[in-house]
Amino acid sequence: MIDNQLPNFLEIATEAALAAGSVLQSFCGKLEEIQEKGRSGDLVTEADKASEAVILEILSRHVPHHGILAEESGKLGDASSKYLWAIDPLDGTTNYAHQYPVWAVSIGLLIEGIPQIGVIFDPFHNELFRAGKGLGATRNRRPIEVSQISELNKSLLVTGFAYDRRETADNNYAEFCHLTHLTQGVRRSGSASLDLAHVACGRVDGYWERGLAPWDVAAGVLIVSEAGGQVTAYNKGSFEINSGRVLATNGRIHAELSGALQQVPPLSSWGSIPATKPQG
């Protein structure tokens, strides 16, 4: 059953994302404090914190009795509420700290654990991606849909690497190499929310990643689904937001990409690629 308050919640999420984006723009290139949060490469800045504060203020004003899961502040609000806002105030902090222009605000609303509202705002490119369950998906208020590519070998994919990639063999390197061989290319942007948004609007045909938090994907998985795409676990089972893994595609390459992910040889088995003789 679709909640009849979804249009209102979508506008609240949009207000918060746009306000947070303005905060991020004001800090961009002017950071004074960049810290690591315990793991090498997992950064937080004063911009993350200021962006989150703006989002929390707007949510507390509009929906004070809802629960919140925010990247920097953790769990807030009413833990018993069926409504849970999953917030990433700056997705792509490392990019942002280096002034690499791939970062965004991501705000998703889960209702009884299921993503129902998603808003992703890319301030640098002024792109606003939105979706509500049953309401469709848009970019800057215009409808979007996934790509028409139907063969893995003709696809362009995107992925990412978790912060603990240095400490664990479960690090996505082998999958990255394997799928680079099978496709027209694999990109690595550094922002999970924008990766999902770009699947939704057809810029890339598929995305997979591991080591993700709910706030990384809560908005994006809904936007992909509402744009006509498919979101599952790696093995095509039901997507679980707390699993840390996601496979999102245009639907047309989903089965083939899922199969390829499950057939990846372990990284330890990869040797040097044999040289090929020049032709002619």
Distance between CA 8 and CA 23 in Å, rounded? 23
Q: For residue 171, what pLDDT is reported?
A: 77
Q: For residue 170, what pLDDT is reported?
A: 65
Q: For residue 279, what pLDDT is reported?
A: 46
The parts of the chain modelled with pLDDT lower than 50 are: 273-280
- How confident is the model over 74-92, as pLDDT tens digits? 999 999 999 999 999 999 9
Q: For residue 2, what pLDDT is reported?
A: 67
Beta strands at 230-232 and 246-249: parallel, antiparallel or unpaired: antiparallel
Structural domains of the chain sorted by starting position, each given as residue range(s) with its CATH number in brackets: 6-143 (3.30.540.10), 152-266 (3.40.190.80)
Distance between CA 35 and CA 203 in Å, rounded? 33
Distance between CA 205 and CA 260 in Å, rounded? 15
Distance between CA 122 and CA 97 in Å, rounded? 15
Contact 67, 79 (CB under 8 A): yes
The pTM of this model reads 0.90
Mapping DSSP to helix (H, G, I), strand (E, B) and coil, where does residue 208 land?
Answer: strand
CA-derived radius of gyration, the chain = 19
Mapping DSSP to helix (H, G, I), strand (E, B) and coil, where does residue 149 land?
Answer: coil
Q: For residue 265, what pLDDT is reported?
A: 77
